[in-house]
Amino acid sequence: MTTVSGLPAARAVAASSSGYYGISCAALLDGTVRCWGRGYGNTPVAVPGVTGVASITAGTLAFSDHVCVRLNDDGVRCWGSNNEGQLGTAGAAPPTARTPVTPRGLWRVTGVYAGGGHTCATQIDGAVFCWGSNRMGQVGDGTAESRDVPTPVIFPR
Which of the pair, 23 or 76, is modelled with greater confidence? Answer: 76
Instruction: Indicate the number of domains in the chain.
Output: 1
β partners of residue 96: 81
Q: Which string of DSSP letters, residue by residue, matches 37-70?
A: ETTTEEEEEEPTT--SEEEEEEE-STT--EEEEE
- 137 is a domain residue: yes
What are the pLDDT digits (tens) for 87-124? 999 988 888 888 899 999 999 999 999 988 899 999 99
- 83 is a domain residue: yes
- 96 is a domain residue: yes
CATH code, domain carrying 32? 2.130.10.30
Task: Tell me how far apart the alpha carbons of residues 151 and 46 are, in angstroms, rounded to a whole number.
Answer: 30
- 58 is a domain residue: yes
Domain that holds residue 133: 10-152
**pLDDT band with cut points at 50, 70 and 90 for residue 127:** very high
Burial annotation 107-127 (CB, 10 A radius, 16+ → b, else e): eebeebbbbbbbbbbbbeeeb
Q: What is the DSSP letter of 21?
A: G
Q: How far apart are the first and last CA of the chain?
A: 47
pTM for this predicted structure? 0.88
- 32 is a domain residue: yes
Q: What is the DSSP letter of 19?
A: G
